[in-house]
Amino acid sequence: GENVEQHPSTLSVQEGDSAVIKCTYSDSASNYFPWYKQELGKRPQLIIDIRSNVGEKKDQRIAVTLNKTAKHFSLHITETQPEDSAVYFCAAGGGADGLTFGKGTHLIIQP
């Protein structure tokens, strides 16, 4: 089955700086890579996703890049704000299967 590794587990950045979270996956059949933001006690919220036929996608301050050959994808958040503090999960999947999640990154935005 799929295996997703996510790094770092904790990331602390100054407000206004950029944050980068990286994930690798193992199953070359995976073709869908979403990123979720989860605040304490709440459901994961989809913030951006990318499919395997695209190398990069951007939505305002958030961008995701995908390298299919190396089987890794990254989340980039620019101009970080206090409300960006949360746990971020990457995931990989596609087809009829559910998603395999990374272990999560606790992002802390320092004022």
Partner 1 sequence: GAVVSQHPSWVICKSGTSVKIECRSLDFQATTMFWYRQFPKQSLMLMATSNEGSKATYEQGVEKDKFLINHASLTLSTLTVTSAHPEDSSFYICSARDPGQARGEYFGPGTRLTVT
By CB under 8 A, name the binding residues for partner 1.
1, 32, 34, 36, 41-46, 49, 89, 93, 96-104
| Residue with Cβ nearer partner 1 (84 or 102) | 102
Smallest separation (angstroms) from partner 1 to the CB of 80: 22
Smallest separation (angstroms) from partner 1 to the CB of 32: 6
How many other CB atoms are there within 10 angstroms of residue 17's CB atom? 12
Q: Per residue in 31-63, is it b (16+ CB within 10 Å) or e — as a string?
A: eebbbbbeeeeeebeebbebebeeeeeeeeebb
Smallest separation (angstroms) from partner 1 to the CB of 60: 17
| Residue with Cβ nearer partner 1 (32 or 65) | 32
| Residue with Cβ nearer partner 1 (61 or 103) | 103
| Residue with Cβ nearer partner 1 (57 or 71) | 57
